[in-house]
């Protein structure tokens, strides 16, 4: 589901006669969700992947300085204060998007790891592995073995949202499900977690590069 509409994927054995009642039943929820997605899209800071454009980074807006260098064999991104210098081999938004995603992935590890270490130290727990991914439906996950995975797109959100997701996953090191015990534990460590959860639910779908 995106702000543009809904795609329904069903098994081949189901006929449209069976699918249509299901969609009709879910219509109010679909309409509410689409409305929320469109509102979030409208509120998202405008980003353009070109020279002079801007991209979000943990609550800041960084100015893009894009340099096209045809002889370059490898893209390069470097932050200088509030400016992000992006050097790519070809013109257009696609090379810039690919260079930026690689940069965000590297920065995600640098931002997540100290937060995760600090949260585990406070909780008296530990994790076994940290991965940075681009999950389509999850912001983070914690396996039963203590392996942690975080979505790099969290860096497009304010810092308190990243802090919330880290704390959420650290609580899963103690309680692996979403039982009442889990939410009570999270509330004891982050009393305002509901506010951050609501923000992520509302704005999460718009956390992406154009």
User: How many structural domains is the chain composed of?
Assistant: 2
Task: Please indicate, yes or no, whether residues 74 and 175 belong to a single structural domain of this protein.
Answer: yes
Residue 37 shares a structural domain with residue 87 = no
Q: Is 15 inside a domain boundary?
A: yes
Q: Assess whether 132 and 101 both reside in one domain.
A: yes
Q: How far is CA 86 from CA 93, 94, 150, in A?
A: 11, 12, 24
Residues 59 and 39 in one domain: no
Same domain? For 115 and 24 the reply is: no
pLDDT, tens only, 77-122:
999 999 999 999 999 999 999 999 999 999 999 999 999 999 999 9
| Structural domain span for residue 192 | 54-206
The per-residue pLDDT string of the chain (210 residues; one tens digit each, 9 = 90 and over) reads 445 555 556 566 666 666 677 677 767 756 665 666 565 555 555 678 999 999 999 999 999 999 999 999 999 999 999 999 999 999 999 999 999 999 999 999 999 999 999 999 999 999 999 999 998 889 999 999 999 999 999 999 999 999 999 999 999 999 999 999 999 999 999 999 999 999 999 999 889 998
For the purposes of burial, counting CB atoms within 10 Å of the CB of 158, is it exposed (0-12), middle (13-18) or buried (19 or more)?
Answer: middle
Flag whether 39 is in a domain. yes
Check whether residue 31 and residue 61 sit in a common domain.
no
**37 and 64 in a common domain:** no
Is residue 49 assigned to a domain?
Answer: no
Query: Are 151 and 81 contained in the same domain?
Result: yes
The reported pLDDT for the residue numbered 1 is 43
Write the CATH number for 65.
3.30.2010.10
The answer to whether residues 189 and 115 belong to one domain is yes
Task: Provide the pLDDT for residue 38.
Answer: 61
Domain co-membership, 77 together with 108: yes
The pLDDT score that the predictor gives to residue 135 is: 85
Q: Model's pTM, two decimal places?
A: 0.80
The H-or-E segment that residue 159 falls in is: helix 159-172
Residue recorded with tokens 């054995």: 13
């Amino acid at each position: 589901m995106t702000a543009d509409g809904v795609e329904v994927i069903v098994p081949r054995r189901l006929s449209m006669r069976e699918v249509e009642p299901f969609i009709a039943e879910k219509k109010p929820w679909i309409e509410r969700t689409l409305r929320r997605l469109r509102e979030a899209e409208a509120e998202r800071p405008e980003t353009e992947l070109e020279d002079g454009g801007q991209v979000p980074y943990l609550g800041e807006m960084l100015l893009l300085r894009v340099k096209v260098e045809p002889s370059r064999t490898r893209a390069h991104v470097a932050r200088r204060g509030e400016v992000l210098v992006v050097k790519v081999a070809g013109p257009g938004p696609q090379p810039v998007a690919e260079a930026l995603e690689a940069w965000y992935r590297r920065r995600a590890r640098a931002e997540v790891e100290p937060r995760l270490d600090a949260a585990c130290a406070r909780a008296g727990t530990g994790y076994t592995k940290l991965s940075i991914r681009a999950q389509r439906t999850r912001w983070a996950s914690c396996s039963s073995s203590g392996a942690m995975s975080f979505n790099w797109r969290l860096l497009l959100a304010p810092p308190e949202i990243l802090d919330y997701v880290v704390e959420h996953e650290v609580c899963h090191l103690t309680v692996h499900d979403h039982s009442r015990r889990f939410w009570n534990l999270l509330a004891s460590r982050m009393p305002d977690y509901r506010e951050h959860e609501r923000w992520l639910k509302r704005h999460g779908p718009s956390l992406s590069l154009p």
